[in-house]
Chains A and B, each alone.
Chain A
Amino acid sequence: KNQVEQSPQSLIILEGKNCTLQCNYTVSPFSNLRWYKQDTGRGPVSLTIMTFSENTKSNGRYTATLDADTKQSSLHITASQLSDSASYICVVSHSGGSNYKLTFGKGTLLTVNP
């Protein structure tokens, strides 16, 4: 069964600190892995997309890593800001990368406090 597990479920950090969110998946065949940011009451917004051959991808203060051998990904947020408070969702695409073969994680709820 295709699954995406994210940890921790929730995280509270102080503004300016760094943090790392984890994503483990058991999806086959793997095509790509995506990270989304979802602000409260809004739709998810894409942060990164990584294919099998990509180990790292950055988007500003967000850096995603992928280890396809261990089927793990992480999202590192540097110098956190209050606006980083959101749910971060890991999504794995399988079966040729088509956008209807996706497995979504439940998300990590990040709270950045001043």
Chain B
Amino acid sequence: NAGVTQTPKFQVLKTGQSMTLQCAQDMNHEYMSWYRQDPGMGLRLIHYSVGAGITDQGEVPNGYNVSRSTTEDFPLRLLSAAPSQTSVYFCASSFGGNTIYFGEGSWLTVV
């Protein structure tokens, strides 16, 4: 049971480049989400999904896109990276209002 798997662990991008952070869970959780964690701030919700084919915006969605074609996968796309998107990104999944399981994080630097 792998839980929540994120890739890549580390990435350096140039301003304007695009990339996709991958997230997969093997717990058949309906709910998946993406957060970013910045120094001195609590985790902030970027986008979330309550099931395959259903996504919605969180607190800080600008500059990011998501899709949920399967229950297992929830990729986060940066269309045109900006230095303000330098952060640590966490994918999470859960079933109902129960325990949220987080991935190990993806460290992104935009130069």
Which residues from chain A sit less than 8 Å from chain B, CB to CB?
4, 31-32, 34, 41-46, 49, 89, 93, 96-100, 102-107
Contacts and interface: CB of A to CB of B under 8 A. Distances in A.
B12 interface: no
B56 interface: yes
Nearest to A48: B99
B90 A99 contact: no
B44 to A, nearest CB: 8
Contacts of A100: 31, 33, 45, 48, 50, 56, 58
Given A44-B90, A100-B48, A100-B58, A49 B42 contact: no
B74 interface: no
A44 B92 CA distance: 10
Interface stretch (B14-22, B78-86, B101-109): B101-109
A15 B79 CA distance: 47
A99 B104 contact: no
Contacts, number: 54
A99 B42 contact: no
Given A44-B102, A46-B99, A93-B97, 10 more contacts: A34-B100, A44-B43, A46-B101, A99-B92, A99-B97, A99-B100, A100-B50, A104-B43, A105-B42, A107-B42
Interface residues of B, number: 26
Nearest to B43: A104
Interface centre among A4, A34, A96, A100 (most CB of B within 10 A): A100
Contact of B40 (A44, A45, A106): A106
Interface in B55-104: 56, 58, 90, 92, 94, 96-104
Nearest to B90: A43
B104 A43 contact: yes
B2 interface: no
A98 to B, nearest CB: 6
Nearest to A4: B42
B97 A32 contact: yes
Given A41-B105, A43-B90, A99-B33, A104 B42 contact: yes
Nearest to B94: A99
B27 to A, nearest CB: 13
